Amino acid sequence: MSDLGRVLRLDARRSALLVAVPILSAVGTAAAGPPLLPSVAYWDNSVVALLNAVRFLGPAAAGLAAWTAVRERPLDYLRDLTARSPATGALLDLLLLSAAALASYLVVTALVVAVTLLRQEAGHPHPLGVVAGAGALVLHVAVGYLAGRVVPHRATAAVVLAVTALWAAVRVPGTSWLSLLPPAAFSRIHLFTTLRAGVLAYQVLWASGLTAALVLGYVLWATRRFLLVLPLTLALAATGGATLGLRDAGGTVAPAPAERVCREWPLTVCVHPALRAALPSLMTAVTPLAARLRGTPGAFTRVEQLPGWTPTGVADGVAGIHLDEDLSPGYQERAVRQIRDGLLNASACAAPGRPRGYGSLVDAWLLGEQPPAIRDAVAARRFGSWDDDRRRAWLRRHFAGYRACALGPADFRPAPRRVHRGAGRTARDAHRAVPAGPRELGSASSPA
Q: What distance in Å separates the CA atoms of residue 287 and residue 134, rounded to the nearest whole number?
A: 49
Tens digit of each residue's pLDDT (9 = 90 or more) over 358-410? 889 999 999 999 988 888 888 999 999 999 999 999 999 999 999 998 888 88
Which residue from 298, 310, 327, 307 is spatially nearest to 398, judged by alpha carbons? 298
Query: pLDDT higher for 371 or 24?
Result: 371
Given this model, what pLDDT does residue 354 score? 62
The residue among 201 and 78 whose pLDDT is bigger is 201
- When comparing pLDDT for 85 and 165, which is higher? 165
Strands 253-255 and 302-305: unpaired
Task: Using DSSP, state whether 307 is helix, strand or coil.
Answer: coil
Higher pLDDT, 446 or 311: 311
Cβ-count burial 191-226 (b if 16+ within 10 Å, e if not): bbbbbeebbbbbbbbbbbbbbbbbbbbbbbebeeee
For residues 141 and 126, what is the distance between their CA atoms, to the nearest angstrom? 24
Whether pLDDT at 74 is above 90: no
Would the pLDDT of 351 be above 90?
A: no
Residue 36 confidence (pLDDT): 57
H or E element at residue 194: strand 193-195
pLDDT band at 448 (very low <50, low <70, confident <90, very high): very low
DSSP per-residue codes, 365-401? HHHT-PPPP-S-HHHHHHHHHS-HHHHHHHHHHHHHH
Average pLDDT over residues 290-297: 92
How big is the chain, counted in residues?
448
Tell me the pLDDT tens digit for each residue of 195-242: 999 999 999 999 999 999 999 999 998 888 888 899 999 999 999 999
Close Cβ partners of 62 (under 8 Å, ≥ 6 residues apart): 140, 141, 143, 144, 160, 161, 164
Could you tell me the pTM of the whole model? Answer: 0.77
Distance CA 295, CA 389 (A): 10
Express each pLDDT in 404-438 by its tens digit.
988 888 888 876 555 455 544 444 444 444 444 43
Query: In sequence order, what E strands does 213-336 have?
Result: 253-255, 261-263, 268-271, 302-305, 313-315, 318-321
**How large is the average pLDDT for residues 7-17?**
51
The CA distance from 136 to 55, in Å, is 9
pLDDT one-digit tens code per residue, 104-163: 899 889 988 888 888 767 888 889 999 999 999 999 999 999 999 889 888 999 999 999
Helices 357-367 & 388-403, crossing angle to 10 degrees?
130
